[in-house]
């Protein structure tokens, strides 16, 4: 009887095991059994190129040799890796990364074991390949950024698809055989356009997991080529101008909204990220006090300082405060029944100034007074019409909005009432007000266009690399910012012209031998407040507490081709640091890149108003 029961129990267990293998594991073993003979191998599409406005290559694909492994064909992975390490160098990070990937993916999927083998490593492995069933040498295309760190904050980079990325990508085959995905910048913004569509190949495999022949192929579709508005030579000049500084430069074609340069310094080499940056190197970049991974042009938020004074004047003009109205500047300003003095940058004062002189000489007292006359509500509403406190809409992810503060904002964020002193500070772009460099460039372009706003953008057109058909991107709809009188724009622009070309302009030092006229505005933004009765001493102030240097401007005056915003962190005077950089870059773009204003054209007399 016991023998019978034992036989029945054994038969039952055998039946359960067979049922499990035949039913629960049917799909897996059916696929594995087919893979002994026939395999369906995904074919990775060629990722689209990224070019600048003159078809200079910013991102392309280069041929490399990689090692791939089919885990199901490997009985002892640790032993395999140990033996392979005698032929091909593996770091501990390589091994840890592979094991982490294997845990997140099915064992019957091929995985990249080692990328970018040297010619010597390829030769050594080829001779010993028979010793490693399931490991195969494969020719792949690898993303490469020929200009390295020059355009890293624009183009971005691709990286291996991580477990986190797997949750974001479509599970319906869109990423079959694709190992990399855009992580940041244009590579991420236009991932779907660049990626292409994978194909598949039906292949016959031998017992060692190697392809014997191709039976049928469904070819992949290559990704689109992107043509950007960026001028990589102007970008190179911008990065050179920022050498030794931390800061950002944004240049826009005001007629189209196209970004010509978008520089953030310091920067980094995006090629380090393509196949996975080492933990040590990433930690160095991520913890550096200079923040090379931080894109200052769209993430950095700075007090705009005096660069906004022209816009404050426009708000004043809209509310009846004429540009010819005069204010006396003794070097300080006080609110009624208040002993506190809000100082002008010029200690001795500017005397009697109107709107033209106030912008030319950057008189703070004039704008303290104007801001109080307007009140924060009208000032906030008026500046927001031009885009203050709002994202520009540039086609890069993560853009910040800056801050145009007001009563409700302060009450909500700080649980404090708005004081008249807050309005005083807002009148000269200080206090709580913040702007990104791309915002500064965008509002400057609006002024150059005399009220026409166009969304800043980097993508000009896409191109099908097979059919060689180009498609222009849709230029964002132009938005007109009307004023009660069109001449209000002319009055402010004339005032900004005097900043550079006037006898007392704060940027008069950059006008020597200038072959064109331009409008500009300097800015020197405080990083920390200065107590009453004390003076700012730059030489004895630690660098991290020194003023930021800013400049905005556009040229030529009568037919603007470039609008520019420059922020140099802790650079000091806007007229001494940021303004000369602007002259250098505008000269380079107009004279060398566009070939305008040949030497035969008469030079403007120094001091002409």
**pLDDT tens digits for 144-200?**
999 999 999 999 999 988 877 776 676 656 888 888 999 999 999 999 999 998 887
Query: 321: pLDDT confidence band, cut at 50, 70 and 90?
Result: very high
Q: Is the pLDDT of residue 254 over 60?
A: yes
Sign of CA dihedral 307, 308, 312, 315: positive
Percent share of the chain, pLDDT over 70: 82
pLDDT of residue 471: 72
Would you tell me how many other CB atoms lie within 10 Å of the CB of residue 266? 20
Query: 323: pLDDT confidence band, cut at 50, 70 and 90?
Result: very high
pLDDT in tens, 196-249: 988 877 766 665 556 666 667 788 889 999 999 999 999 999 999 999 999 999
Residue 410 in contact with residue 416, Cβ under 8 Å?
yes
| Closest to 553 (Cα-Cα) out of 579, 573, 575, 572 | 579
Residue 45 in contact with residue 195, Cβ under 8 Å?
yes
Say which residue, 5 or 394, is predicted with more confidence.
394
Q: Is the pLDDT of residue 582 over 80?
A: yes
Q: Which residues does 457 contact at the CB level (< 8 Å), separation at least 6? A: 229, 257, 258, 259, 393, 394, 395, 473, 476
Residue 568 in contact with residue 581, Cβ under 8 Å?
yes
The structure tokens listed for 40 are: 């369906």
pLDDT in tens, 30-88: 555 554 567 777 788 999 999 999 999 999 999 888 877 777 677 777 777 777 777 77
SS3 for 67-116, per residue?
EEECHHHCCCHHHHHHHHCCCCCCCHHHHHHHHHHHHHCCCCCCEEEECC
Say which residue, 98 or 522, is predicted with more confidence.
522
Q: Is the pLDDT of residue 592 over 60?
A: yes
| Closest to 433 (Cα-Cα) out of 311, 537, 600 | 311
pLDDT of residue 525: 87
Rounded-to-integer distance, Cα 191 and Cα 354, Å: 52
Q: Is the pLDDT of residue 303 over 50?
A: yes
| CA–CA–CA angle 457, 459, 461 (5° rounding) | 140
Q: Is the pLDDT of residue 463 over 50?
A: yes
Buried b vs exposed e over 268-297: b needs ≥16 C-beta within 10 Å?
bbbbbbbbebeeeeeeebeeeeebbbbbbb
Query: 21: pLDDT confidence band, cut at 50, 70 and 90?
Result: low
Sign of CA dihedral 266, 588, 298, 412: positive
Q: Is the pLDDT of residue 535 over 90?
A: no
Query: 607: pLDDT confidence band, cut at 50, 70 and 90?
Result: very low
pLDDT of residue 165: 79
Rounded-to-integer distance, Cα 533 and Cα 535, Å: 7
Q: Which residues are catalytic?
A: 306
Q: Which residues does 248 contact at the CB level (< 8 Å), separation at least 6? A: 242, 262, 263, 264, 265, 296, 297, 300, 437, 566, 567
Question: Do the bridges between strand 247-253 and strand 562-568 make them parallel or antiparallel, or are there none, so unpaired?
Answer: antiparallel
Would you tell me how many other CB atoms lie within 10 Å of the CB of residue 226? 26
pLDDT of residue 608: 42
Rounded-to-integer distance, Cα 423 and Cα 401, Å: 20
Question: Do the bridges between strand 135-144 and strand 211-218 make them parallel or antiparallel, or are there none, so unpaired?
Answer: unpaired
pLDDT of residue 609: 38
For 49, 74, 121, 136, 572, the CA distances from 66, given in Å and listed in that order, are 21, 18, 10, 8, 50
Q: Which residues does 35 contact at the CB level (< 8 Å), separation at least 6? A: 72, 108, 205, 209
pLDDT in tens, 93-143: 666 766 666 666 666 666 777 777 788 888 887 888 777 777 878 888 899
* Domains of the chain by start residue, with CATH: 41-73+83-228 (3.90.1310.10), 232-265+298-593 (3.40.710.10)
Helix (H, G, I), strand (E, B) or coil at 39: strand
Q: Is the pLDDT of residue 9 over 80?
A: no
* Over residues 88-94, mean pLDDT: 71
Go through the chain and tell me how many residues it has.
609
* Over residues 289-295, mean pLDDT: 96
Rounded-to-integer distance, Cα 34 and Cα 37, Å: 5
Query: 558: pLDDT confidence band, cut at 50, 70 and 90?
Result: very high
Longest dimension (CA), the chain: 120
Residue 495 in contact with residue 355, Cβ under 8 Å?
yes
Average per-residue pLDDT for the chain = 87
């Amino acid at each position: 009887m016991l023998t019978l029961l034992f036989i029945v129990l054994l038969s039952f267990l055998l039946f359960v095991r067979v049922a499990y293998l035949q039913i629960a594991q049917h799909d897996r073993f059916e696929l594995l059994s087919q893979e002994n003979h026939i395999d369906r191998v995904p074919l990775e599409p060629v990722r689209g190129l990224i070019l600048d406005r003159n078809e200079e290559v910013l991102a392309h694909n280069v041929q490399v040799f990689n090692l791939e492994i089919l885990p199901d064909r490997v009985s002892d992975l640790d032993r395999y890796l140990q033996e392979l390490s005698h032929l091909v160098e593996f770091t501990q990070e390589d091994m840890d990364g592979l094991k982490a990937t294997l845990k997140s993916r099915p064992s019957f999927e091929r995985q990249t074991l080692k990328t970018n083998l040297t010619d010597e490593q390829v030769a050594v492995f080829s001779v010993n390949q028979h010793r490693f069933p399931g490991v195969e040498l494969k020719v792949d295309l690898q993303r490469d950024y020929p200009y390295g760190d020059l355009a890293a904050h624009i183009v971005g980079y691709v990286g291996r698809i991580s477990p986190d990325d797997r949750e974001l990508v479509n599970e319906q085959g869109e990423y079959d055989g694709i190992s990399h995905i855009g992580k940041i910048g244009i590579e991420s913004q236009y991932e779907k356009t660049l990626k292409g569509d994978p194909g598949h190949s039906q292949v016959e495999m031998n017992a060692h997991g190697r392809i014997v022949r191709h039976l049928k192929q469904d070819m992949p579709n290559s990704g689109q080529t992107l043509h950007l508005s960026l001028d990589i030579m102007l970008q190179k000049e911008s990065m050179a101008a920022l050498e030794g500084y931390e800061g950002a430069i944004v240049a826009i074609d005001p007629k189209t909204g196209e970004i010509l340069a978008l520089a953030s310094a310091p920067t980094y080499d995006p090629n380090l990220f393509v196949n996975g940056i080492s933990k040590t190197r990433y930690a160095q970049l991520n913890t550096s006090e200079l923040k090379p991974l931080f894109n200052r042009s769209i993430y950095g938020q700075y007090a705009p300082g005096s660069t906004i004074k022209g816009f404050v004047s426009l708000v004043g003009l809209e509310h009846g405060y004429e540009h010819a109205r005069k204010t006396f500047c003794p070097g300080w300003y006080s609110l009624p029944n208040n002993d506190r003095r809000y100082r002008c940058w010029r200690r001795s004062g500017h005397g009697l100034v109107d709107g033209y002189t106030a912008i030319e000489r950057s008189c703070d007292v004039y704008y303290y007074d104007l801001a109080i006359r307007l009140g924060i509500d009208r000032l906030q509403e008026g500046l927001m019409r031009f885009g203050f406190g709002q994202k520009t809409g540039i086609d890069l992810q993560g853009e910040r909005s800056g801050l145009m503060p007001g009563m409700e904002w302060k009450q909500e964020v700080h649980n404090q009432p708005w004081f008249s002193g807050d309005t005083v500070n807002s009148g000269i772009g200080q206090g709580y007000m913040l702007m990104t460099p791309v915002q500064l460039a965008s509002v400057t372009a609006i002024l150059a266009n005399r009220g026409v706003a166009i969304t800043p953008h980097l993508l000009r057109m896409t191109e099908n690399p097979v059919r060689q058909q180009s498609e222009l991107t849709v230029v964002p709809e132009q938005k007109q910012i009307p004023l009660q009188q069109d001449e209000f724009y002319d009055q402010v622009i004339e005032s900004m012209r005097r900043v550079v070309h006037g006898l007392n302009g704060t940027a008069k030092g950059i006008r020597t031998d200038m072959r064109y006229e331009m409008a500009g505005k300097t800015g020197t933004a405080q990083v920390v407040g200065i107590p009453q009765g004390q003076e700012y001493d730059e030489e004895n102030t630690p660098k991290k507490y020194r003023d930021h240097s800013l400049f905005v401007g556009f040229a030529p005056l009568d037919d603007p081709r470039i609008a520019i915003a420059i922020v140099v962190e802790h650079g000091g005077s806007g007229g001494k640091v940021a303004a000369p950089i602007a002259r250098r870059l505008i000269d380079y773009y107009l004279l060398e890149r566009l070939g305008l204003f040949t030497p035969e054209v008469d030079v403007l007399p120094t001091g002409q108003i």
